[in-house]
Structure 1
């Protein structure tokens, strides 16, 4: 408009706007690079969003609110954080994320968070951390690493770049994982976290669950969660697993996780109520037999993440990144 009325005004206005824009970008980058620069609060409702935008408009248009910006900011914090904090204190939810190499599970219980396994490199940055931030989670109370695939890499450091961990349980650390275990230990110390190595058979007990690695070779890990037995069975030693199935020496769980070719035999022998596996690329005869069983089976490659709530039901969970909010 200035340039249309008088061209020199347009040039001067452009210079001023450029300076203001550059200053604003610099300020945002400066704040963004500060440690602990945001607080993730998860999803907000429509009414919370309306309150926030109404307060912004009132600060912009009304003189009194413009002079009391701190009060408007306080109301924004209250309207967003208190309802979310109340809902977290009543929440109990288990989410099994889609992963091929090992089971990855997040347990949320009245504000306490456990992450079980991290997967390979990339999984923490691309899957686990975004999910936790979407849920409004800013710290991990307990982390359990079982190294299901006996790999010398994992994604724990990627997760710890975004979220601090209070207590880290490491089942049967090996010489192959010594370097990464040391790096995890050092990263934990930055936030006064605790590193706790565990041997085969040792239990991890909290108010939410009891976990125990009972077989290192296959491997097999069992968790007792609110009276429900969850059994996680790997496929690293197929012959040993077949032997245990034949001898019927496996506990009978309510929920089974397995990503190998022994799924049909495990379902026939253990008869769990619910089962989680990775993909549906099974032999035709196995798929047909499984479809006739009473066990409800979820395929994370097809269904995505799977959630279990306090009423004992599993359902497919589609991660939605909309309405995710961070308070800067």
Structure 2
């Protein structure tokens, strides 16, 4: 087979892995219909290409070759399924079948270096080998058994206390089931663990026993980070370490991570192709007088060492493999086919771990590299009127954004408005800090004080980088929520981009195609915002939040706390494409923090609502009809909602009118009152609903939803009620 045949085989493997999206990884439920869709889709695509391509490409493969390509794609699907992690019979998660959580003592070995998470606890992965638990909760007798499995562990944070790969630990804590995503747009913790091959977590309360960790690259990372932070402190020192050797090396403060994410600079915090290219450039410069063979071996050695130092991340591994290909081309004195190398590296890495195909970091890394190969060179040619050192700094951010933006929109529903400009302005600083940081790291391995001295020279450039990021983040509309971009629209965008790259006619009409793609994205968003009438009930512990969207106007009735707003309410509003809230009503004593995330026109607190008794925002009417307990009536689109905000039972003599929806805490309700009010729908904001109340609703023919089982509950005039998330394996 020639190069063309191998290229098609590699592409067939990638296409097969992409078809596994039909199976909904990491969801463990598979149906025959899903497999029929996959087989039919791959077969139809193969047949279509077998007919169309030879007509347009006379030297293209024919006949049975395309059948072989289809078999490669189907084999990729099967191989993917074989590599999907499932809990074994002896997996520690099997102990949670009867109870969602229990106090245990586990023993095992640390798999990854501990990191400080957003909750200010240390987190790491633990390979478990035994568990100790009480035979019954009432007995003090304990039982120890051997188990297997991988645990996501968090333990209290103590300064200068970390845990490293290979270290033996015995931890007492609460073993728990990970929760599914209860709110659209929020982090799906259960899915995240499943992707990593873990099906339970441990909230460690104390470390009972710990062993000494064996030697590893973590020792070198620790030496480098200490050296670079010695005279710089936080956050400058850790930021230099993150830029030069990757975020796996250091615990960056949460505010710095958030700042760079919002500015569109998150990629510079992770070691990637940019650092590898700089490193290779330095190696080639200092070995330019050596033979090509020696250059190759020195370069390969440096790249392998750097990959180990950064924690063997997919982005660095990909860049290192491509770098090795470039070095081999240098030795052979041949021009390397960069696109072919890109495809070969993708296949090699996905043969090693096919599950990476659905890793967002992996996807963004390869899209960025693809853009550097096919889009950036033409852009540089159009910018040839600029100095050679300036044009790449402009072309690279634009080219990379073109190919990564659709995926980012589909994944996060938000766009960093000034990210391209911010990347262009900060490019020289990032280059200086990366080179200086890597030089400082190399010196620190031999002479820590020398590494500290070099890092100290980067103090003001790093401060300037932080200041620029803050400037852009603080500009008006620095981030814009666009709403959830559908997978279909995202695929259409990428098809259009590929057509512009491959087809001359499409290149000639590139502006028209780009305008069409932009219209496909923008028009549905505008129409949805102008026509959408929707009420969403969210469980934001310890209370709830209600989001009312009425033809472009948005009202939030918020009873949650600051953490609930940050991790549940704001992600939901982002997915909905909400950038400004017309009114926020806060019933509880705590203050709303939504103004720090989104624009808010007015905030109404409990006292104002009680004083006015009735307020209107657009066509939404809110009326307080009882104070103790506080009961609120909502009127939206001719539908009447009754909300028992406090207590479990309203006074019997006040409510004789029927209501469409009853919203309450899930506690027991009086049967006579329910029969008199006759709600059509009941929504309980609770993990559990008392059994007698459930039977009462069933007897009265009232449809019952509750957030503990159904997640977020949405209502629209045409579609009625639907549950956005149905949590699995819920014990109710």
Q: Tell me the TM-score normalised to structure 2 length.
A: 0.34
Hey, what does 1:291 align to over in structure 2? 698
Match of 1:171 among 582, 586, 606: 606
Shift of 1:32: 7.3
Could you say which residue in structure 1 is the equivalent of 2:347? none
Going from structure 1 to structure 2, the CA distance change for 1:94 and 1:285 (only over 3 Å counts) comes to closer
Q: Which runs of 5+ in 1 are unaligned?
A: 10-16, 173-196, 320-328
**How far apart, CA to CA, are the structure 1 residues paired with 2:698 and 2:600?**
40
1:234 equivalent among 626, 645, 649: 645
Pair 264,79 (structure 1): closer, same or farther in 2 beyond 3 Å? same
RCO higher in structure (CA 8 A, sep ≥6): 1
The superposition leaves residues 19-54 of structure 1 with CA deviations (integer Å, 9 ceiling, x where unpaired) of 989x86982884974532332221234553244224
Q: 1:244-285 CA distances to partner (integer Å, 9 max, x unpaired)?
A: 12x354643211111053434442342111111123634443
The match for 1:114 is 555
Q: Distance in 1 between matches of 2:691 and 2:610?
A: 40
Q: Is the 8 A contact 1:235 1:260 kept in 2?
A: no
**Aligned to 1:202, which of 609, 613, 630?**
613
Q: 1:221 to 1:47 in 2, by over 3 A?
A: same
- Counterpart of 1:6? 330
When residues 2 and 44 of structure 1 are mapped into structure 2, their CA distance, relative to the original with a 3 A threshold, is closer
Preserved contact between residue 689 and residue 706 of structure 2 (Cα < 8 Å):
no
Correspondence for 2:716:
309
Q: Distance in 2 between matches of 1:285 and 1:65?
A: 65
User: Partner of 2:483: helix, strand, or coil?
Assistant: strand
* Match in the other structure for 2:221: none
Query: Structure 1 residues 32, 262: closer, same or farther in 2, change over 3 A?
Result: farther
- The 3 A distance-change label for structure 1 pair 297 and 109 is same
Structure 1, 27-36 or 40-49: larger mean CA deviation:
27-36
Spell out the pairing of 1:20-169 with structure 2 (5 A cutoff). 27=423, 30=469, 33=473, 35=475, 36-57=477-498, 60=501, 74-147=515-588, 151=589, 153-154=590-591, 156-157=592-593, 159-169=594-604
Look up the SS of the partner of 2:700 in the other structure: coil
Give 1:302 shift: 0.9
Separation in 1, partners of 2:599, 2:509 = 35
Cα–Cα, structure 1 residues 199 and 287, in superposed 2: closer, same or farther, change >3 Å?
Answer: closer
* Structure (1 or 2) with the greater strand fraction: 1
Q: TM-score, normalised by structure 1?
A: 0.70
Displacement after TM superposition at 1:124 (Å): 0.8
- CA drift of 1:127 comes to 0.8
CA deviation profile, 1:215-268 (whole Å, cap 9, x unmatched): 3331111111122211111234x6xx45x12x3546432111110534344423
Residue 272 (str. 1) matches residue 668 (str. 2): no
2:660 pairs with 1:254: yes
Give structure 2 stretches of 5+ with no counterpart.
1-324, 334-371, 373-388, 398-418, 427-468, 727-732
What is the distance in 2 between the residues matched to 1:104 and 1:138? 17
Q: 1:58 deviation in Å?
A: 5.0
Match of 1:218 among 613, 629, 643: 629
Q: What's the secondary structure of 1:199's corresponding residue? A: helix
Per-residue deviation, residues 94-150 of structure 1 (Å, max 9, x unmatched): 111124533411111222211111411211111111111111222112222222xxx
**Between 30-39 and 222-231, the greater mean CA deviation after superposition:** 30-39
The structure with the larger Rg is 2
Alpha-carbon distance in 2 for matches of 1:32, 1:7: 44
Contact 2:666 / 2:688 at 8 angstroms: preserved in 1?
no
Q: Partner of 1:263 in structure 2?
A: 669
Deviations for 1:141-197, whole angstroms, at most 9, x for unmatched residues?
2222222xxx4x24x21x22221112222231xxxxxxxxxxxxxxxxxxxxxxxx4
2-structure distance, mates of 1:160, 1:63 = 49
Count of residue pairs brought into register by the alignment: 277
Q: Which string of whole-angstrom CA distances, capped at 9 and with x for unpartnered residues, describes residues 190-213 of structure 1?
A: xxxxxxx44345321133221112
